[in-house]
Chain A
Amino acid sequence: MSEAKSEKEKRKIQSEKKMRDIMTAYYIDAKTARQNNKKVAWITSGGPVEPLIAMDIIPVYPENHGAMIGASKMGVDLCEKAEAMGYSNDLCSYARSDISCATVNGGPIGGLPEPDMLVCCNNICGTVLKWYEVQARYFNIPLFIFDTPFCHTEYTKEAKRYVERQIGEYVAFLEGVCGRKMDQDRMKDVGRISFEGQKLWQEVLDTAVNKPSPMTAFDAFFHLALIVTLRGTQQTIDYYQGLLAEMKDRIRDGIGAIAQEKYRLLWDNLPIWYRMKWLSKKFAEHDACLVADTYTSAWCGAMKYIDENKFLDSMAEAYSRIYLNIGVDEMARMVIAMIDKYQVDGFVLHSNRSCKPYSLGQFDIQRIVEKERNIPCLMIEADMVDERSFSESQISTRIDAFMEIIKDRKKGRA
């Protein structure tokens, strides 16, 4: 084995294979649900999935599917198909790829299993409302909309009452579609397991405070899949326990995620799925490690509102106060907390043409960060799935210039 290869082997996260196996098994399960008399629900990424698990319904995530489409570089083709169907190219590329994929069963896994119901929670954006309505008409199946008012500054009494009432409606909806009652004890267990999973995921992300960091945000984007898709199952806990142990071993053995970590960066917004390799190589060439990001922590960022023993009641608040459903000042506060916690030297913002709620406040957040923490910030314009919005030479120059500034500043300080 050549030296370069063994270097790479050493840095490879071993849990990765297990993750691929779990995800493969999960999709096989979902695709064979009909044969096994199980129901399938499509649900938004920020939606309350725990009641589905408690009802033995298999949750499937068009957004996770969208990420797979992006990562396998099949996004442009599917987006173009959606545009030919009449959808605007300004529509989120997850929505475009999902809508067109459903009609041709394309993409890396030959399409998602047909849903028996749809659950749409608008805590991430307004796009999902219309997107799920389109799919409800296409498949001619029931749709439940879980409406979480935007929390500009606070979660008001009225909002609380409004959201909590919907939990009962949600459970009734599921019972209606399945034709059986929810087992309340099972629901309590699932709630506890979900909470436990979120805690573990946060602990995994926390290992990145170590210098050198045992993982990068690019790793987090990959290992995130379970907390999104299988939150509330024992499997998730087992997996993250293993991953956490591996990260701790790496810290003990001094194994960093990249060969030489001299600079630490924070990432904002969704990944650019079709350019993960290129970007991670690009930053690593500058000895820069993206140690944390605002995206993957969204699945454990509202934990403080959850009472693990009263999961169903407390989840109303937790699901209302996730990162994309709060005001810009609050977002900036969270970003600054991450800058301090992970001790980063710079902040990279992906201005994502697809995701308006994520990208809209970025100029303000950047300004606040520059003022409060005086670290270099870089904005790159791209799209998470639609490669047509990515211009390599432009982005390359911006990253090079950004790294020149960071290096210069660090040198100046030393």
Chain B
Amino acid sequence: MITAGIDIGSITAKAALVENGKILGTKVTFTGYNAEAAGRKVYEDVLADSGLEASAVGKIVSTGYGRNSVKFADRTFTEIMAHAAGANFLKPEVRTIIDIGGQDSKAIALDERGKVKNFVMNDKCAAGTGRFLEVMARALEVDLDEFGAMSLQSGAPSKISSLCTVFAESEVISLIARGEQRFDIIAGIHESIAARISSMIARVGLTEPVMITGGVARNAGVVAALEGKLGVKIAVLPSAQVNGAIGAAILASSL
């Protein structure tokens, strides 16, 4: 049976099609202000890309913060379950997942069977999320996609101490004014995200192997900072951003 997973995040909407343990296609679009329309759009796109008709799909599961606006889904699961299912499918030995999305970040601990044992989500604050990076990219006038490569050039990351996104932004602006190098500031931003995430990891307990999912996984600087802070290697799959959608499609196959 072909199944579909749709993950509506705060910034991007993702879709995946799966059949008998094989990924047929994935797609990422922007969510915009209308989560319902975004769900429909990303689903139509992934079908078109894969050359499939909607009638070919057996079951659909939606996940992510906009999961309830996907009216055509058969069932919803939270992104915690979806990411665990995705990780378990793609890399069954994973025991800890770090997911950093647009407006939240989480640490998920998995048990021996790859089931969710425990999870922690960031509190009501954008620090340590994709949104935080976006705000900083704007303040620094750097394309977010270059953040990773730039920060890796830094030998002495700046210190960002504020926990609040808004305050951290003004901190960054004063660092610019003080003439600190951009790559040092960016590296400092990544360090501050890593510090936040590792305290979440400490609460669920760190067990290897560790995998990172969500859009921020594409940022090599954040991954490097996290590896430094946690002292472990972190697996980054090319499908990191669509891991939740893949997991949702996997969950759909056992409905």
Verify if B30 is at the interface (C-beta below 8 Å from A).
no
Please, how many angstroms separate the alpha-carbon atoms of A45 and B104 in the complex?
37
The residue of chain A having its C-beta at the shortest distance from the C-beta of B204 within the complex is A370
Are B124 and A401 closer than 8 Å at their CB atoms? no
**Max chain A Cβ within 10 angstroms of own Cβ: one of B65, B115, B124:** B124
Please, how many angstroms separate the alpha-carbon atoms of A147 and B81 in the complex?
49
Please, how many angstroms separate the alpha-carbon atoms of A257 and B81 in the complex?
29
Please, how many angstroms separate the alpha-carbon atoms of A216 and B188 in the complex?
48
Name the distance in Å between A347's Cβ and chain B's nearest Cβ: 12
Are A397 and B77 closer than 8 Å at their CB atoms? no
Verify if B119 is at the interface (C-beta below 8 Å from A).
yes
A401 with B81: in contact, given A363-B203, A370-B118, A391-B124 (CB under 8 Å)?
yes
Are B81 and A394 closer than 8 Å at their CB atoms? no
Are A394 and B104 closer than 8 Å at their CB atoms? yes
CB-CB under 8 A from A363, the residues of chain B are 203
Verify if B116 is at the interface (C-beta below 8 Å from A).
yes
Verify if B123 is at the interface (C-beta below 8 Å from A).
yes
- Binary flags per residue of B94-130, CB closer than 8 Å to A gives 1, else 0: 0000000000100000000001111111011000000
Verify if B169 is at the interface (C-beta below 8 Å from A).
no
Name the distance in Å between B197's Cβ and chain A's nearest Cβ: 17
CB-CB under 8 A from A393, the residues of chain B are 65
Name the distance in Å between B31's Cβ and chain A's nearest Cβ: 14
- Binary flags per residue of A374-388, CB closer than 8 Å to B gives 1, else 0: 001101010000000
A397 with B79: in contact, given A370-B118, A381-B123 (CB under 8 Å)?
yes
CB-CB under 8 A from A377, the residues of chain B are 118
Are B80 and A401 closer than 8 Å at their CB atoms? yes
Verify if A238 is at the interface (C-beta below 8 Å from B).
no
The residue of chain A having its C-beta at the shortest distance from the C-beta of B117 within the complex is A405
**Max chain A Cβ within 10 angstroms of own Cβ: one of B104, B115, B121:** B121
The residue of chain A having its C-beta at the shortest distance from the C-beta of B122 within the complex is A394
Verify if B29 is at the interface (C-beta below 8 Å from A).
no
Verify if B219 is at the interface (C-beta below 8 Å from A).
no
- Binary flags per residue of A381-414, CB closer than 8 Å to B gives 1, else 0: 1000000010101100110110011001000100
The residue of chain A having its C-beta at the shortest distance from the C-beta of B79 within the complex is A397
Are A401 and B119 closer than 8 Å at their CB atoms? yes
A404 with B78: in contact, given A393-B65, A394-B104, A397-B65 (CB under 8 Å)?
yes
Are B104 and A404 closer than 8 Å at their CB atoms? no
CB-CB under 8 A from A401, the residues of chain B are 78-81, 116, 119
Residue in B80, B117, B120, B203 whose CB lies within 8 Å of A404 = B80
Are B121 and A404 closer than 8 Å at their CB atoms? no
Residue in B78, B117, B123, B124 whose CB lies within 8 Å of A400 = B78
A404 with B77: in contact, given A363-B203, A376-B118, A397-B65 (CB under 8 Å)?
yes
Name the distance in Å between B77's Cβ and chain A's nearest Cβ: 7
CB-CB under 8 A from B117, the residues of chain A are 405
Are A408 and B121 closer than 8 Å at their CB atoms? no
Residue in A376, A381, A397 whose CB lies within 8 Å of B124 = A381
Chain A stretch 313-336: residues in CB contact (< 8 A) with chain B: none
CB-CB under 8 A from B115, the residues of chain A are 408, 412
Please, how many angstroms separate the alpha-carbon atoms of A238 and B56 in the complex?
66
Please, how many angstroms separate the alpha-carbon atoms of A393 and B65 in the complex?
7
Are B124 and A408 closer than 8 Å at their CB atoms? no
Are A408 and B79 closer than 8 Å at their CB atoms? no
Are B124 and A389 closer than 8 Å at their CB atoms? yes
Are A404 and B116 closer than 8 Å at their CB atoms? yes
CB-CB under 8 A from B119, the residues of chain A are 401, 405
- What would 16 more interface pairs be, CB under 8 Å, given A376-B118, A377-B118, A394-B124? A379-B120, A381-B123, A381-B124, A389-B124, A391-B124, A393-B65, A394-B121, A397-B78, A404-B78, A404-B81, A404-B116, A405-B116, A405-B117, A405-B118, A408-B116, A412-B115
20 contacts between A and B (CB under 8 A): A370-B118, A381-B123, A381-B124, A389-B124, A394-B104, A394-B124, A397-B78, A397-B80, A398-B121, A401-B79, A401-B80, A401-B81, A401-B119, A404-B78, A404-B80, A404-B81, A405-B116, A405-B117, A408-B115, A408-B116
Question: What 5 A-B pairs come out closest when comparing CB atoms?
Answer: A401-B80, A401-B78, A400-B78, A391-B124, A381-B123
